[in-house]
Structure 1
Amino acid sequence: MEGLIRKFFATSNDFIHNQQHITPVGSQMGFFNNNVEAQMKKTEGEEQQGDFPDATLKYISQMLMEEEELETQRCMFRDAMALHATEKYFSAVLDGTVANNTCPPQDGFSWTCALTNSFSSSSSDEPCFGLSLPASVDASEERQGMDHSPPKGKRDHNSFSLSSDNNGPAGMMMRNNKHLASFCDEPETFDDFFLFTKCRDKKEEPREQSKGGGGRGRRGKKKNKQETKKEFVDFRGLLTQCAQSMGDYDIGTASETLKKIRQHATPQGTGMERVAFHLANALEARLNGRGTSIYTSPQGNVSAADILRALQMYLTASPFKMVTSMMANRCIAKLAGGGATRLHVIDFGIFYGFQWPSLIQALSTMPGGPPRLRITGIDFPQPGFRSAERVNATGLRLEKYCQRFNVPFEFNAIAKKWDTIELEELQLDREDDVVIVNCLDRMGNVPDETVVPNSPREIVLNLIKNINADVFVHGVVNGTYNAPYFGMRFRETLFHFSSLFDMLEETVPHEDNDRWLFEGTVLAREMLNVIACEGTERVDRPETYRQWQVRSLRAGLQPLPLDQEIVKGVREKVKSEYNKNFTMDEDGNWLLQGWKGKVLHAVSCWKPSN
């Protein structure tokens, strides 16, 4: 088990795929190991309870042990999002809405190559993306770096120093100016964007960092007095100033501000230093007009297995996924307990099917035997000729899991754009089916009316209404960073993701590898798309739960009251097993989740108004 873990989240397409096989921040895997091994020690009786995330963590561990191909595959969610963005961009090119001499459209912020060239020549210290892999270092060396990283507390800081050649700020890999001027013709891959540079010729003096990371783990370890004497840097002010300069087309000021940020920001520092580092990368990608090319690049060396391990860390540290899945599964189990003989779950955004092992276990213990479970798994298509291959693979895994617990099972895979799905494809011709529609945190990837006049979101909600399900469980990311104006969108992005990085800072050990991977791939890639991509290429477009409330009512859905018995059980679990700064509240039919008062997720139940 230990060897498999050491060999080691979508969401992959290769932004996701790039920050893993960098030499890791440390070799500490205790946070992940302790939790998984604790799950493995549960008795069979405890397993039958089907608790989330226990069943999900064990399900992922089983996938990693049994499916070696995950070590070479890319994460299905991130591939799908990259394909979606690429299709939209090339469609715009064919329609003539993207000029040949410009970089991808940026909603009023379209930098031409000539403008970028002037930026390149205006500064002797050309900004860069900070994390780049030398041509002489291949992915296999990076994998070896992970296996041989020093233990916590004895980490060689020099091995993580970033090159400062060409008189650039510490932590930046300077490239020749001609590369920046020609990026529209020859976009670089993720390997040139988000991988650490190994110092080969000389060792640098590392920037002073707090020993132990200055963070707080699950036990809330406090910082030493010496650690609090670090130079204070107003990252929020600098990042906001940089974004404002870009909005004002003040290239020189934006460049200088980025240099100041890079002198102090690091992916190995405090939560704020980490979010500043990744936001600086996203700002620079926007400044250079390379957001779409980086986001959709097909190169990278982070596998699906890597992302799954990072997701295990996130599921263990945060209750967000646990709460939404428990709300949905317990609601479904209650419907099944009313004498149902057949359940049909239509899952929009099934991903790897992590939500369903706990439901399957719960169904297997029902008096009189389990009902027949039918899942229609829907997700975005994958690149290539076998667009539904990985959705089908999810179905096969769930089928094996159902066989283990003696639950009759059927699976129907649909891999296409959600607004093009026809009602007939869902096979709703069985009158004795109890039908449940499930969509957790994925509707924000469906384009809205600001992208396509005939809003795909409205089309999908109308489809859900026409399904006439017994219940529609809708979980959303409560995001306010979908504004059309860049300045406002950037400020909200900074606010939202700062909360997530702060949450990980206080709940996961500072040098945990999977935390570092999750931040540098999953979260950083989302920030890249929100900040550096525009128009049809910007596929992360969240809305607040109140906006979704209006959309759902307009589509002909009516809210169902929260089941207080389920809410009470979820609250008790969060209170007893998670950090005290996680918050839960209710607003009408919505159960809200947040961190230190900031609402980040919400979930509610609906049914057709007729």
Structure 2
Amino acid sequence: MDTLVGEFSNSMRGFKFDFESNTRLGTQKFSISSSEDCDFSDAALRYIQDILMEENLEDRSCSVQDCLALQATEKSFYDLLSQDPAPPLPNNQPSESLIGTISKIPVPHTSKLFDSNQISVPGEQNFQSLHTQFKPQNFLNGSAESPVSTLLFSDLPTDYQFVGQSNIVLDLGKKNHDREFEVDEVDGRSKKQTAVYSDEQDNTELWDKVLLCDNRNIMEPGPCTLAEAVQQKAVIDEQLKVSSTGKGSGKKKGAKKGVVDMRSLLTSCAQAITGNDLRTANELLKQIRQHSSPSGDACQRLAHYFADGLEARLAGSGTQLYTMLVTKKTSDANVLKAYYLYISACPFKRMSNYYANRFIGKVSADTPKLHIIDFGIGFGYQWPCFIQRLSSRPGGPPMLRITGIDLPRPGFRPAERVEKTGKRLASYSKRFKVPFEFIPIAQKFANVQLDDLGIEKDEFVVVNCTYRLKNTLDDTVILDSPRDAVLKLIKKINPKYFVHGVVNGAYNAPFFVTRFREALFHFSAFLDMLDCNIPRDDQDRRWLEEELCGKEVVNIVACEGSDRIERPETYKQWQARNLRAGFEQLPLDQDLLGLVRSKVKTYYHKDFTVEEDGQWMLQEWKGRTLFALSCWKPV
């Protein structure tokens, strides 16, 4: 079994593959009928299926919120226990990095070594004591009667505990009982921590779980089957409208009135909480709960998620509830299946990737060496289609280098997800014979240094960041804004181009009621979009809503200060920030914009629209702009 050394070196070496340009493709699994449409093909969906086929996927979990919630939890623990700040870190490491140097991590099916920077976990010595301190009464201080108390701790496992400093073996499954997770010594002591992986899942079984759904075709391979299901639902809805009588129309008007009333109830409750009118707030919450449901229509689901946030804010336990939600175990398989459904039913992420990939490919058509720096790479969904297109470039593909930046995971392997993403993309590049190198970086965006990126003089550099800067703090929390620090770093990189996608939201206001109203409008449109495109009883839709709506709403409504990590701004606000940071906005490519509009019109619901404003590509649902994308270059 080959080993993967999980320690970053200063040179940031990663995966590197170089293939002969005249070698035939080794597989047809990712082939499509036309290379012109590979950005919009099923390749991305099949890439997700490949991830779903990986071993132990059902037992792995991580999200952006997990990483950010870890830092918020640590801060709460320090404030709760001793009011002392985190212990100083060696070598001036930022406090959000992890303690100790990780090395000699055995990983199956790997032929390359990974070098990584020193990674550390602050306050590790306090974990065992925190287990005994982590009680509901320590957080709520007599709030057992509050409506949120049952939400806070009911889902915690009975064997929940923090791991202390002890000698522990990492079990990688039945076939690897003797392998250990080796960690270098810190302060003269050897630290080994446990993490036991469950038995390997059978690949066929997991494939069946994803693709052979009971009594429905919604998750069958490719977007066409889903589109047919959506169209069938639309036909049924239209038939019901045609066959309905005047009495039915009256019911529809009544339902519309109910939506308005529910929004009024939610807003009134928020105002009562702001005015410290607890009695009125509790009465309104009871009314909201009577008409809310996580499995009802869009209005009922909206009320359900916002009621959770209001209850937590009323009880003063927003940070604890949010931390519990994001640290609750959710397997990667469930997240990926929900994402699979999302990009099949909704064009937002898919069309952003389509435009960005085509733009990058167009401007770098003649370069022999392309370096993409991706802030917030996640699972790397964007790049398989791009790699596929590069393989058919006239004259052969360039040398492709991708620097994947993402937040460190909680636990002993902070860079695990970004490293796995690199291996998947490397495998994909190998299939399409594209020379490839991957540089993984697991740390906060604002703490990345220019030297970490491994930029070479003779390469064409493009920075890509879509929908992830909303999780960086702004100048309303920290005077030296991490949000502006990231833009300054990108300016220092001096890329040829900067592709920037944003969540268009105005719910970052410091005033609670204003923020609440804007969040209500935004998520009302989002849930209505899902309700019109995915059946209500779809279980993967529930996962999707909990991940993209439920957790975010709790954070927006119930958290304040640095604990509130959901901080989107409008595209016009981002435009002003980018201009101040020293970037020049580029006009949209009208040919690409036309292709995006054509595909959205052909493959998706008629209420999805693509508009243009101020050199931004706007993606809308029923006239409300939810996402925006534009391209920039340094001045």
CA deviation string 1:224-247 (max 9, x = no partner): 757857794621011111111111
Q: How far 1:49 sits from its partner (Å)?
A: 4.0
Counterpart residue number, 2:521: 495
Amino acid at match of 2:64: F
Q: How far 1:570 sits from its partner (Å)?
A: 0.7
The TM-score, its normalising length taken from structure 2, stands at 0.70
CA deviation string 1:381-427 (max 9, x = no partner): 11123211211111001000000110100010111111111111111
1:295-310 to structure 2, matched below 5 A, reads: 295-297=322-324, 300-310=328-338
Alignment partner of 1:344 out of 350, 361, 371 = 371
CA deviation string 1:155-193 (max 9, x = no partner): xxxxxxxxxxxxxxxxxxxxxxxxxxxxxxxxxxxxxxx
Counterpart residue number, 1:364: 391
Counterpart residue number, 2:612: 586
Structure 1 pair 46–62 and aligned structure 2 pair: CA distance change class (3 A): farther
Q: 1:53 & 1:289 partners in 2: Cα distance?
A: 47
Indicate the larger mover: 471-480 or 260-269.
260-269
Counterpart residue number, 1:322: 350
Alignment partner of 1:50 out of 34, 38, 41 = 38
Structure 1 pair 249–570 and aligned structure 2 pair: CA distance change class (3 A): same
Alignment partner of 2:499 out of 467, 473, 479 = 473
Unaligned runs of 5+ in 1: 1-39, 98-112, 141-145, 154-214
Counterpart residue number, 1:74: 61
8 Å CA contact 2:507–2:567 kept in 1: the answer is yes
Q: Once superposed, what is the RMSD of the aligned Cα atoms? A: 3.5
Q: How far 1:90 sits from its partner (Å)?
A: 5.0
8 Å CA contact 1:558–1:608 kept in 2: the answer is yes
Structure 1 pair 411–276 and aligned structure 2 pair: CA distance change class (3 A): same
8 Å CA contact 2:597–2:609 kept in 1: the answer is no
8 Å CA contact 2:148–2:308 kept in 1: the answer is no
8 Å CA contact 2:32–2:38 kept in 1: the answer is no
CA deviation string 1:506-551 (max 9, x = no partner): 1112211111211123310011111111111111100000000110
Counterpart residue number, 2:547: 521
Q: 2:551 & 2:447 partners in 1: Cα distance?
A: 27
Residue 530, structure 1, aligned to residue 556, structure 2: yes
Q: 2:156 & 2:138 partners in 1: Cα distance?
A: 28
Q: 2:47 & 2:140 partners in 1: Cα distance?
A: 48
8 Å CA contact 2:292–2:301 kept in 1: the answer is yes
Q: 2:232 & 2:268 partners in 1: Cα distance?
A: 29
Q: How many residues end up aligned between the 2 structures? A: 487
8 Å CA contact 2:30–2:43 kept in 1: the answer is no
Counterpart residue number, 2:50: 62
8 Å CA contact 1:128–1:284 kept in 2: the answer is no
8 Å CA contact 1:53–1:316 kept in 2: the answer is no
Q: 1:114 & 1:415 partners in 2: Cα distance?
A: 33
8 Å CA contact 1:85–1:539 kept in 2: the answer is no
Counterpart residue number, 1:379: 406
Amino acid at match of 1:238: L
CA deviation string 1:99-154 (max 9, x = no partner): xxxxxxxxxxxxxx999778766x9x888549966999x9x9xxxxx99xx9779x
8 Å CA contact 1:474–1:603 kept in 2: the answer is yes
Amino acid at match of 1:589: Q
Amino acid at match of 1:465: K
8 Å CA contact 2:139–2:317 kept in 1: the answer is no
8 Å CA contact 1:473–1:605 kept in 2: the answer is yes
Secondary structure of the 1:68 match is coil
8 Å CA contact 2:140–2:317 kept in 1: the answer is no
Amino acid at match of 2:44: T
Q: 1:532 & 1:369 partners in 2: Cα distance?
A: 53
Q: 2:363 & 2:214 partners in 1: Cα distance?
A: 50
Structure 1 pair 454–318 and aligned structure 2 pair: CA distance change class (3 A): same
CA deviation string 1:226-277 (max 9, x = no partner): 7857794621011111111111111111111111111111111111111111
Residue 221, structure 1, aligned to residue 237, structure 2: yes
8 Å CA contact 1:85–1:538 kept in 2: the answer is no
8 Å CA contact 2:35–2:392 kept in 1: the answer is no
Amino acid at match of 1:440: T
8 Å CA contact 1:88–1:537 kept in 2: the answer is no
Q: How far 1:41 sits from its partner (Å)?
A: 9.8
Structure 1 pair 490–404 and aligned structure 2 pair: CA distance change class (3 A): same
Q: 2:274 & 2:577 partners in 1: Cα distance?
A: 31
1:50-449 to structure 2, matched below 5 A, reads: 50-52=38-40, 54-65=42-53, 67-90=54-77, 129=151, 217=233, 219=235, 221-222=237-238, 228=252, 232=258, 234-297=261-324, 300-337=328-365, 339-428=366-455, 430-449=456-475
Tell me the percent identity: 47
8 Å CA contact 1:218–1:508 kept in 2: the answer is no
8 Å CA contact 1:216–1:505 kept in 2: the answer is no
8 Å CA contact 2:491–2:582 kept in 1: the answer is yes
Residue 539, structure 1, aligned to residue 527, structure 2: no
Q: How far 1:43 sits from its partner (Å)?
A: 6.0
The TM-score, its normalising length taken from structure 1, stands at 0.73
Q: How far 1:294 sits from its partner (Å)?
A: 2.0
CA deviation string 1:80-107 (max 9, x = no partner): 232243345456667679xxxxxxxxxx
Residue 507, structure 1, aligned to residue 523, structure 2: no
Amino acid at match of 2:303: A
Q: How far 1:494 sits from its partner (Å)?
A: 0.6
Counterpart residue number, 2:626: 600
Structure 1 pair 444–252 and aligned structure 2 pair: CA distance change class (3 A): same
Secondary structure of the 1:391 match is helix
Structure 1 pair 87–335 and aligned structure 2 pair: CA distance change class (3 A): farther
Structure 1 pair 481–91 and aligned structure 2 pair: CA distance change class (3 A): farther
Residue 454, structure 1, aligned to residue 480, structure 2: yes
Amino acid at match of 2:267: T
Indicate the larger mover: 497-506 or 227-236.
227-236
Structure 1 pair 300–243 and aligned structure 2 pair: CA distance change class (3 A): same
8 Å CA contact 1:129–1:284 kept in 2: the answer is no
1:14-25 to structure 2, matched below 5 A, reads: none
Counterpart residue number, 1:31: none
Indicate the larger mover: 530-539 or 86-95.
86-95
Q: How far 1:68 sits from its partner (Å)?
A: 2.4
Amino acid at match of 1:402: S
Q: How far 1:220 sits from its partner (Å)?
A: 6.3
Amino acid at match of 1:310: A
Secondary structure of the 1:604 match is strand
